[in-house]
Structure 1
C-alpha cells in the first residue's frame, strides 16, 4: 500500500488532484450500481455516476430522488461522498500520509496551498487536524439543533438520522435532501432555517477563515493589551459574503413581493428570501419552487451561484474574493491607478492577473457549456419550444459549474449526452477551472521567459 501511495505522491500536483476526485467518483458510482443501493431496479451506471459526481463535488443535482429511490446503504454512500468531497480528498490523503509516517512533500503542500490557504502555515499537521476538529464540532452542533425540529415529527431513529444527514449536507454545501421538495416543508420554521443557513455560511467561508477567527478571539481573551486584526483575505470574505447575503435577500424580497411571496405572511416571506439568498451561493437547498420566481429573480440567483462561496471552503463558484478583487481592479483602472488597492493594501500583480483570468475563463467556459447543453438537448424540438428552454439550461449549467445544485427542472430532462456534460461541469467546478486548464496544457513549473515585441495600438470601445 505504501508503494502505491508513494507513486501517487510523485504525480504532478494537478493530475494528483484530478485523480483523487475521479477515483472517489468512480468508486462511489460503482457502489451505487449495486442492487443493495437502490429500491426497485438498480441504478444505471450513468445515473449512478451522475449521483456520485454530484455528491463528491458537493453539488446536489439529482437524477433520482435521494430519499425514496436510494436505500439506506445508497444514502450512506452519498453521505460519505459528500463528507469526503466537502473536506476535500486532498485533506484526507495528506492526513493518511501523516498517519503512515510519510510526511508531506512539495506536491501535497502545493495542493493544500491551492485549495485551503492564502498564506503559509507553520504546521500542516495542525491545520489538517483543526479542519477535522472544526468540521466534527460544527456538524454535531448542527445535527443536535436540527434533531429538535425533526425528532418530534419523525421519531428518534428517523429524526436523528435526518438531522445528521442534512447537517453534513448543509455544512459541506452539498444541497442533498431526503425530502422530494427539499426544505419547502420547513420554510416557516425559524430553527431549521437558522441552523441550515449557519451551517451553509460556515461551510462556505473557508476553513482557514474559521480557524483564524477562532484563534483571534482566543488571543484577545488571553491578552487584551495586544490588538490583532483579521487578515485581508478574511476581511474580504466576511465583507463580500455579508453584502451578497443581505443584498440578495433584499432584492429577492423586493422582486417577489407581488409574485411568489404575495400569498405568504411577512415572517414566512422573510425566511424564504433570506434562505434562498444564502443557499443560492452553492448550497442548493430550496424552500420554494424556483419555477415560481420571476425571470429577474432567477437571473439574480444565477449571479449568486456564479460567485459562489469563498476559497478553501466546501463551495464552488469563482469565489467571493474573486468578485471583490474584480470590483477593486475595475475601480482602480477606471481611476487611472495602475495598482489595485484594498483596505490600504496593494494586491500583488499575480493575484490581479489570476483574478482576471479566472473570471473571464469562467464566463467563456459557461457560455460554451450552455451552447453544448442546448445543442444536445434541443435537437429535433420545435423552435419555439427550444427558445423557451434557454433559461432553464443556462440556469442548469451555472448551477452545475458552481456546484450549487439548484434546478428549474432541467436535470430530469437530461439525455445521456446532457448528463455527461453536467458531470463534466460539476467535476471541473469542484476541482477548479484554472487547475484543470493549467494541468491539461501541462503548464511548466518554471516561469516562461517573457517576450516583448514592438508595440502597436488598436482601437478600444
Structure 2
C-alpha cells in the first residue's frame, strides 16, 4: 500500500477510535492528560529550586494538585520555584472546577457548542436536575468560583500582607484562597496552618472557603436563588418562593451534622491530649477547623501525630464520607451517608420505600449509593494491603501504629483530602504509585472509572428466572 494512502488511513482510524470513546472514557482521558502535562512541567529545571524534581515526585505532586488532594512528598513552598508553584496552582484550579466544566466553558466561549458527550459529562459531574441553559450554568460556575476566591484572597491578605510584605503576602493569600475553595489543602508554609490556629480571621476564612467548595456549586447557586426570592417577596408578597431541592436539603443538613458532631468529638477526645493547655477559644477553633478540613480539604492547625488512635479513626471516617456531589471534594459523598440512614430508618418503620424530607428516593439511586460505597471499601482495602506490603518489605514494624498510618494515608488519598500522619514523606516508589492511583480514582470517580473500563453500557440485558439465596 502506498505511504500516501497508509498514513491518512491511520489518522482516520485514530479519529474513529476517539469518537467511539464513551463519555466516562473521555473524562478519564482528560484528567490523565492534564496530570502528565503538569508532571512534565514540574520536572523541568525551571520549576525547581536547585536540582530538578524527580519525575515520580513531579507526577505525585501533579496528581495531588489536579485531584485537589494535598498530599505532598516534597515541600511546595521551598522546593518549587515561583513557576512550579504557579503550575501547581493552575492544576488545583482546573481540578477544582473540573476539567470537563473548564473545557465546556471554553467551548461555549468559542461558540463551538456542546455535544451529547459534553452534556452527559456535565450532568454526571454537576447536575442532579436538568437546567434550561448550559451556557448560563457554566458561566455562573466560573464567575461564582472567581468571586468567592477573590473575597477569600482579600480577607487573607489582611493577615498575610502585614506579616510577609505586600507581594509575598498577597500571593500567599491568593494561593491559599484558591487551594481552600478547591479543597486542595496545599500550603506554602512548612507547618501548614499551625502558626495561625488561634487567628480567628484565618480560621473563619479558610473554613468558609472549604465548606463552600465542598457543598457543591449547584447548592450554592440554589441557596442564593432562594435567598433572592425571599428578599423579593418582602416587597411583593404574592410572589411564589423558590423551593429548595431535596438534594440541597440533604447536603446542607448532613454537612452541618458532620461538622458539628466531628468538632464536638475531636474536642472531647483530645482535650487532655493534643489540645491540652490551650485556651478555650483555641481549642474551639482547632476542633472545628479539623472537623471541617477532615472532610476533604487537608489543611491542619495541629500536628495529627499527637492525636489518639480513636481520634484518628474518627478523622478516617470523616475523610471517607468526604464532601458533596458536584463539588471540589472527594469521598463517597454526604448524600450516600444520608441515604444509608434513610434506608435504615424507613426499613425499621416497615416502609418498603425510602422517604426523605417527604420525598421518595428511587430504588435505583439507593442501589447506586450502595454499589459506590462497596466499591470504595474494596478499593481502599486492596490499596491498604498493597501499601502495607510496599512500606514493610522486611516485615519489621517499628511503628506500633503502622497499620493505622497506612489506613489513614489510603483513605486520605482516595477521598482527595490530603491529611497525613507523616507517612507521605516516607513513601517508597511502590507506595507513591499506589497513592497516585488512589488519588486519580478518587477524583475521577469510582463509577465513572468503572464505566470507562467497561466501555459502553447495554440498554437491555437478559433477565432470568428468580431464585433465592440465604443471607445473614
Give the TM-score, by structure 1 length.
0.96
Once the two structures are TM-superposed, the CA of residue 9 in structure 1 deviates from its matched residue by 6.5
Judge conservation of contact 2:22–2:455 (CA < 8 Å) in 1.
Answer: no
Once the two structures are TM-superposed, the CA of residue 40 in structure 1 deviates from its matched residue by 1.2
How far apart, in 2, do the equivalents of 1:212 and 1:343 lie? Answer: 17
Report the count of equivalent residues.
Answer: 456
SS at match of 2:375: helix
SS at match of 1:110: helix
Judge conservation of contact 1:170–1:283 (CA < 8 Å) in 2.
Answer: yes
Judge conservation of contact 2:22–2:456 (CA < 8 Å) in 1.
Answer: no
The equivalent position to 2:405 in structure 1, one of 367, 382, 392, is: 392
How far apart, in 2, do the equivalents of 1:207 and 1:450 lie? Answer: 39
Q: Does 1:156 align with 2:166?
A: yes
Give a deviation string over 1:123-175, Cα, whole Å, max 9, x none: 11100000011001100000000000111101101110000000000000000
How far apart, in 1, do the equivalents of 2:19 and 2:285 lie? Answer: 47
Of 258-267 and 327-336, more deviation after overlay is shown by 327-336
Q: Does 1:27 align with 2:40?
A: no
Q: 1:98 to 1:410 in 2, by over 3 A?
A: same
How far apart, in 2, do the equivalents of 1:373 and 1:205 lie? Answer: 31
Judge conservation of contact 2:226–2:241 (CA < 8 Å) in 1.
Answer: no
SS at match of 1:67: helix
The equivalent position to 1:425 in structure 2, one of 416, 425, 438, is: 438
Q: Does 1:455 align with 2:442?
A: no
How far apart, in 2, do the equivalents of 1:284 and 1:85 lie? Answer: 15
Q: Does 1:47 align with 2:57?
A: yes
Once the two structures are TM-superposed, the CA of residue 376 in structure 1 deviates from its matched residue by 1.1
Judge conservation of contact 1:378–1:386 (CA < 8 Å) in 2.
Answer: no
Larger Rg: 2
Q: Which residue of 1 aligns with 2:225?
A: 215
How far apart, in 1, do the equivalents of 2:454 and 2:399 lie? Answer: 35
Of 336-345 and 183-192, more deviation after overlay is shown by 336-345
How far apart, in 2, do the equivalents of 1:67 and 1:348 lie? Answer: 48
- Aligned-pair RMSD on alpha carbons? 1.6
Give a deviation string over 1:428-453, Cα, whole Å, max 9, x none: 00000111012212241x32325232
Q: Does 1:353 align with 2:346?
A: no
Output aligned runs, 1:301-380, within 5 Å: 301-380=315-394
Give a deviation string over 1:260-285, Cα, whole Å, max 9, x none: 11121111111000000000000000
Give the TM-score, by structure 2 length.
0.94
Q: Which residue of 2 aligns with 1:410?
A: 423
Judge conservation of contact 1:50–1:423 (CA < 8 Å) in 2.
Answer: yes
Judge conservation of contact 1:256–1:293 (CA < 8 Å) in 2.
Answer: yes
How far apart, in 1, do the equivalents of 2:274 and 2:120 lie? Answer: 47
SS at match of 1:385: coil
Once the two structures are TM-superposed, the CA of residue 100 in structure 1 deviates from its matched residue by 2.9
Once the two structures are TM-superposed, the CA of residue 386 in structure 1 deviates from its matched residue by 6.7
Q: Does 1:254 align with 2:268?
A: yes
Q: Which residue of 2 aligns with 1:190?
A: 200
How far apart, in 2, do the equivalents of 1:79 and 1:422 lie? Answer: 20
Q: Which residue of 2 aligns with 1:17?
A: 27
Give a deviation string over 1:188-236, Cα, whole Å, max 9, x none: 0000000000000000000011111111222222234322321000000
SS at match of 1:60: coil
Judge conservation of contact 2:149–2:178 (CA < 8 Å) in 1.
Answer: yes
- Which runs of 5 or more structure 2 residues have no equivalent in the other structure? 1-11
Output aligned runs, 1:198-277, within 5 Å: 198-223=208-233, 224-225=237-238, 226-277=240-291
How far apart, in 2, do the equivalents of 1:160 and 1:244 lie? Answer: 32
Q: Does 1:436 align with 2:446?
A: no
How far apart, in 1, do the equivalents of 2:401 and 2:307 lie? Answer: 15
SS at match of 1:305: helix
How far apart, in 1, do the equivalents of 2:386 and 2:301 lie? Answer: 30
Q: 1:379 to 1:329 in 2, by over 3 A?
A: same
The equivalent position to 1:300 in structure 2, one of 307, 314, 332, is: 314
How far apart, in 1, do the equivalents of 2:175 and 2:59 lie? Answer: 21
- Which runs of 5 or more structure 1 residues have no equivalent in the other structure? none
The equivalent position to 1:291 in structure 2, one of 289, 305, 310, is: 305
Give a deviation string over 1:101-128, Cα, whole Å, max 9, x none: 2211111111001110100010111000
How far apart, in 2, do the equivalents of 1:454 and 1:20 lie? Answer: 41
Q: Which residue of 1 aligns with 2:157?
A: 147
Give a deviation string over 1:50-96, Cα, whole Å, max 9, x none: 00000000000001100100110100000000000000000111112
